[in-house]
Amino acid sequence: MKLNYQQQTYHQTTHLNAWLTTLSHSATVMLNIERKDVSHDATYGEIKIDVNDIHFSSLIKEWEEYGARLRYLDEKIWRDLGNIKLIARDFNSFSFSTQGSIQDYELEEEDIQSLDVLLNENSIRKFEKTVVVFGAGASFKYMPDGNQLLYAMLKEKSPRDELIQFISEAFGSDIDRAKSFPSFSQVLNFIEIALDREENFSSHITLSRLRKFKAELINDMRQFMNKLNNGDPESQDYDQLIYNLKPIIESNNEISFINLNYDMFFDQSLKNQYSPDKIDYILNFDQEGEEADRQKIDLGSNRLQVIKLHGSLDWMICPTCFRPRRFDKLVESYTNTDCKYDHSKLQEFLFPPMQEKHQVHSHWLTLQTKADALLREADRVIFIGYSLSDDDLLFRFKLQKHLYRDKPEQRVTIQVVDKEGEMGMMSNWVSKRYQEYFGPIDFRPIGFTNFAKVPF
Of the candidates 20, 26, 55, 31, which has an alpha carbon nearest to the alpha carbon of residue 122?
Answer: 26
Within-domain flag for 261: yes
104 and 195, same domain (yes or no) = no
Are 109 and 207 members of one domain?
Answer: no
Number of domains making up the chain: 3
Q: What is the DSSP letter of 422?
A: S
Q: How far is residue 276's CA from residue 268's CA, in Å, rounded to a whole number?
A: 11
Strand partners, 102: 81
Dist. CA 61–CA 369, nearest whole Å: 36
7 belongs to a structural domain: no
Please give the chain's pLDDT, 456 residues, in tens: 233 333 333 444 456 788 899 999 988 888 876 544 434 455 677 787 766 666 778 888 899 999 999 888 877 888 888 888 888 888 778 888 886 667 888 877 777 888 877 777 667 888 999 999 999 889 888 888 766 888 888 887 887 788 888 988 888 887 777 677 888 888 888 898 888 888 998 888 999 999 999 988 888 888 888 777 665 566 889 999 999 998 888 776 689 999 999 998 999 899 888 888 889 999 988 866 544 444 433 334 568 999 999 999 889 888 898 889 888 776 655 666 888 888 888 888 888 876 666 566 788 889 999 999 999 999 999 999 999 987 788 899 999 999 999 887 788 999 999 988 654 444 578 888 998 899 889 988 889 999 999 998
> Residues 158, 44: one domain?
no
Residue-level pLDDT at 195: 86
Burial 369-400 (b: 16+ CB within 10 A, else e): ebbeebbeebbbbbbbbbbbeebbeebbebbe
Give the DSSP per-residue string, 365-387: HHHHHHHHHHHHH-SEEEEES--
Among candidate residues 229, 244, 263, the one where a domain is terminated: 229
255 and 218 assigned to the same domain? no
Based on the fold, state whether residues 160 and 242 are members of the same structural domain.
Answer: no
Q: For residues 296 and 208, state if they share a domain.
A: no
Task: Say how many residues make up the chain.
Answer: 456
Q: Which domain holds residue 204?
A: 147-229
Residue type at 183?
S
How deeply is 300 buried, as exposed, middle or buried, from its count of CB atoms within 10 A (0-12, 13-18, 19+)? Answer: exposed
Q: What is the pTM of this model?
A: 0.87
Neighbouring residues of 407: CB distance < 8 A, sequence distance ≥ 6: none
Residue 90 and residue 222 in one domain: no
* CA dist., res. 133 & res. 396, Å (int): 12
E-assigned strand segments in 190-323: 254-259, 279-280, 286-288, 304-308, 311-317
Q: Are residues 361 and 449 in the same domain?
A: yes
Specify the pLDDT at position 452. 94
